[in-house]
């Protein structure tokens, strides 16, 4: 029952949550767009766009491979566009 107790702090938290709901979404969307661009840069060589930093971006693969599936779905590709990555 303790967490149900009314307090001014909780009221402010609630109020802030109400008002910042659309902003949180918008900011998440902007950040996701930046991430999407970054993913395109990282995978550009495999997609046929020459990337001089390919050797370095290759090192990032293990870290971003898990996000690859969501990324290609968002980019409008139902199946993985890369033969080497068979996420679906």
Partner 1 sequence: MSAIWLAVAGGIIFILGYKYYSKFIAEKIYRLDPNYTTPAHQYKDGVDFVPTNKFVLWGHHFTSVAGAAPIVGPAIAVYWGWLPALLWVLLGTVFAAGVHDFGTLVLSVRNKGQSVGTLANKLIGQRAKVLFLFIILLLVLMVNAVFAWVIANLFISFPASVISVFIQIPLAIWIGYIVYKRKKSMLLPSLVALAVMYAAAIIASYVPALQIDLVSYFGGDNAAPILGLDATAMAFFVWIIILMVYVYIASTLPVWKLLQPRDYINSHQLIVGLGLLYLGLLFTNPEITAPVNNSSADTSWFPLLFITIACGAISGFHGLVSSGTSSKQLDKETDARFVGYLGAVGEGALALIAIIAVITFFPSTAEFSATYSGFTAANGEGLGVFIQGAAALASGLGIPASVASTIVSVIVVSFAATTLDSSVRLMRYIIAELGTEYNVTPLTKTHVATTTAVLSSAALTLIPQGPNGFGSGGYLLWPLFGTSNQLLAGISLLLIAIWLKRQGRNYWPAVIPMAFLMFMTLYAMFLQVMTQWAPWAGQSDWLLFIFGAIIFVFALWIMFTAASALMNSNKDRISKSA
For partner 1, what does the binding mask look like between residues 48 and 77, x meaning CB under 8 A? ----------------------x-------
State which residue, 20 or 77, has the beta carbon closest to partner 1.
20
C-alpha–C-alpha distance, residues 88 and 86, integer Å: 5
Q: Which of 36, 45, 21 is nearest to 68 (CA)?
A: 36
CA distance 82 to 61: 13
In the complex, least distance from residue 68 CB atom to partner 1, rounded to whole angstroms: 15
CA 10 to chain centre: 30
Q: Interaction with partner 1 in 11-50: which residues (CB under 8 A)?
A: 12, 14-23, 25-30, 32
- In the complex, least distance from residue 84 CB atom to partner 1, rounded to whole angstroms: 25
- Which residue is listed with tokens 């659309």? 22
Binding site for partner 1 (CB under 8 A): 12, 14-23, 25-30, 32, 70
């Amino acid at each position: 029952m303790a967490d149900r107790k009314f307090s001014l702090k909780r009221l402010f938290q609630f109020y802030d949550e109400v008002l910042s709901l659309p902003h949180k979404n918008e900011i998440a969307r902007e950040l996701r767009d930046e991430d999407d661009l970054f993913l395109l840069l990282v995978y550009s060589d495999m997609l046929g766009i020459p990337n001089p930093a390919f050797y370095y971006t290759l090192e990032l693969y293990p870290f971003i491979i898990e996000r690859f599936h969501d990324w290609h779905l968002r980019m409008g590709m139902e199946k993985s566009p890369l033969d080497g990555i068979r996420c679906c």
